[in-house]
Structure formats: structure tokens, C-alpha cells
Amino acid sequence: MNVVGPTLTRGWFASSAKRVAFVALVSVVVGGALFTRVNRFELRRIEALSFGLQDAEVFYLPPPAVLEALSLGHPGFASDVLFIRTVSYFITHLFTDRTFPWLDTYLNRVVDLDPYNGPVYEWAMKVVKYRQMITNEVIDESTRWAERGIKVFPDNWKLHLEIGFNHYFERKHLSDEDRALHQRKAIDYFMIAASLPGSRLDPNFVTDLYLKHNEKDMALFYAVQRYYDGSDAEKAMLLDRVAALISSQAARAMAEREEQWKASFPYAPAALFDLVGPWEAPRVPLHLERDATVEQLDQPFDILPRRQEPDAATGGNRG
């Protein structure tokens, strides 16, 4: 016996308007669910197509000779435009698979168009290490981009610093001998990076590395060499290291030498001041003095005082 049918017919579902409203509600719910499902599939399809088109675009990237011809005599501008496209490609894969299969192709085309596009080398040596795993092969690729930039910009301290960082901190060493070899290479690159114009590398960092590897002579040499170029805080730390390696008297001598430099030739480089020395008032030659005697006029030209030498017989000084 059908109980549900008569009950609904006699109750709420008996009204035709209510039946229409119920059917409409069910249609809206089912239609909305189907629309959402279809929309999700469509978004996935568009996303998949977009990635496929990007890969195809990179795959059909023209060779350097064709790109240079297409630049119409403006390879630098074309290099910048292609570099923008390279950054867009990198960001797309950075938030998806982090594989960058065509990044090297893009970068090579950019520098082929304009090898003097400096920011490309600094950017490339860093972003190649954003892959899923950082292996020695990835570190070597980063180092190659930095070395390639050094050939064009040898005074770029950031390139030297990145190579030193890769050798000392990033590389996975297979043995103690391999670690010591790469760390020694890294210290040399760190020293070059800290010595180049505009470098912001703390000289105490390099000094500490030399001390860590028991190279006290090199640590002292580097501390004295880079003392003038440091900030006030860096100079104070360098003086403490010199005092610990030699003596407090040597540290005070360095500070006094700096004061002489600032008082005599602050506009000249510190290295030149070390060669010239502090300023001294010159003596008037004897043959130009008004009251000079005949014997004095016959003496050789002498603008500086003669050194006092000890007398062998009496132990005193003789003029």
C-alpha cells in the first residue's frame, strides 16, 4: 500500500505552487553543483594549456643569430625584454614544480644578445639554486654563472662573494680533503670580494676564516691591509685582533698611523699614504740661506737632516 504518496498529496505537496517551488529549488542546487564542477575542470584545462604553450614557446626560442637579427640593431633592448620573460618563466615554475627545465636556455639567449647585461649574472647565480634539491651539480652551475660574469665584470665583488659562499657553505663535501680544498678556494674569493671597490663584506669575516684555518700570518696581514677601509665598529674589532695576535702596542701604532693619515693626506688613499708617510716641513738648503759661510756653500745640496751615526770609539754620536 502506498502510504508516502497519499500523505504528500494530502499534505504540503498537495499545492501545485509548492511543487513548482520544490522542483525549482532542486534544479538550482543540482545546477549549481554541476556548474561548479564543470568550472573547475575548465580552469584545470586552461592551466594545463597555458603551461603547454609556455613550454612550446621556450622550445621554439630562436637561436642567437636570429634573435640578433630580430632586434633590429638594438640587442641590449631585446636582451632586457627577454630577461623580463625569463623572470616570468622562473616565477611560474617557482610556485608549481620548481624544475625550470628551460631556464638555462633563456639565460643563455639573454647574455648572447648582450653579454654586458650585468644584473643577469647576479640573478642567475642565485635563482638556479631554487630547484627542488640543491646538489653539487646545482652549486657548480651557480658558480659557472658567477665565473662567466667575472670575465665581463672582474671588479664585481658580489660575484666573487657568491663563488666563495658556494665553495665554503653550499657544497656537499665527499671527504675531509675535498672540504679543505674547497674551503681554501673560498677564502681566496672572500678576500678578493672584500678588497674590491664598493664591497660591503666585513673584513673581520675574512680574518676569522684565516684564524679558523690556523693561518695567523695571513690573518694579521689582511687585518692590517683592510683596516683603513672598515667602519668604526669594524676597525675596533680589527684592532682587538691585532692586539691578540701581536701586542696592544702594535694596535696603538695602527690607530696612530690612521690619525697621521687623516691629519696629513685624508684625500689620498691609505695605501699611498703608507708609501709617502706623514707630511714634514722641508728644510731650506744651506746654500740658499742668507748668512751661509763659504765652507757651507761648498757642501753638497742637502734638504734633509743627516742621520746621526754612533761613534765606534766613544759609543757616542758624531755629526
Q: What is the mean pLDDT of residues 251-275?
A: 80
pLDDT of residue 38: 55
pLDDT of residue 19: 64
The backbone torsions φ and ψ at residue 197, rounded to the nearest 5 degrees and listed phi first, read -60, 140
In a domain, 217, yes or no: yes
In a domain, 173, yes or no: no
Check if the beta carbon of residue 247 is closer than 8 Å to that of residue 239: no
**Domain boundary pick from 60, 79, 105:** 60
The backbone torsions φ and ψ at residue 317, rounded to the nearest 5 degrees and listed phi first, read -105, 145
In a domain, 266, yes or no: yes
Q: 102-145: per-residue pLDDT in tens?
A: 899 999 999 999 999 999 999 999 999 998 888 999 999 999 99
Burial of 243 (0-12, 13-18, 19+ CB in 10 A): middle
Euclidean distance between CA atoms 198 and 157, whole angstroms? 8
In a domain, 29, yes or no: yes
pLDDT of residue 319: 43
Q: What b-and-e string marks burial along 181-195, b requiring 16 or more CB atoms within 10 Å of the CB?
A: ebbebbbebbbbbbb
In a domain, 174, yes or no: no
In a domain, 297, yes or no: yes
Q: Which domain holds residue 277?
A: 202-301
pLDDT of residue 138: 94
In this predicted model, which residue has the larger pLDDT, 284 or 130? Answer: 130
In a domain, 90, yes or no: no
In this predicted model, which residue has the larger pLDDT, 235 or 12? Answer: 235
Q: 45-82: per-residue pLDDT in tens?
A: 556 555 544 555 555 688 888 888 888 999 999 999 99
Other beta carbons within 10 angstroms of residue 259's beta carbon come to 10
Q: What is the mean pLDDT of residues 89-104?
A: 88
Count of domains forming the chain: 2
Q: Per-residue confidence at 301, pLDDT binned at 50, 70, 90?
A: very low
Q: How many Å from the N-terminal Cα to the C-terminal Cα in the chain?
A: 144
Q: Which residues contact 104 (CB under 8 A, 6 or more apart)?
A: 141
DSSP bridge partners of 310: 317
Q: 155-197: per-residue pLDDT in tens?
A: 999 999 999 999 999 988 778 899 989 999 999 999 899 888 8
pLDDT of residue 280: 64
pLDDT of residue 291: 57
Pick the range with the lowest mean pLDDT from 173-187, 215-229, 289-303: 289-303
Q: What is the mean pLDDT of residues 25-36?
A: 64
Check if the beta carbon of residue 78 is closer than 8 Å to that of residue 70: yes
Q: What is the mean pLDDT of residues 13-19?
A: 62
In this predicted model, which residue has the larger pLDDT, 185 or 32? Answer: 185
pLDDT of residue 310: 55
Other beta carbons within 10 angstroms of residue 172's beta carbon come to 10
Average pLDDT, the chain: 78
In a domain, 272, yes or no: yes
pLDDT exceeds cutoff 70 at 287: no
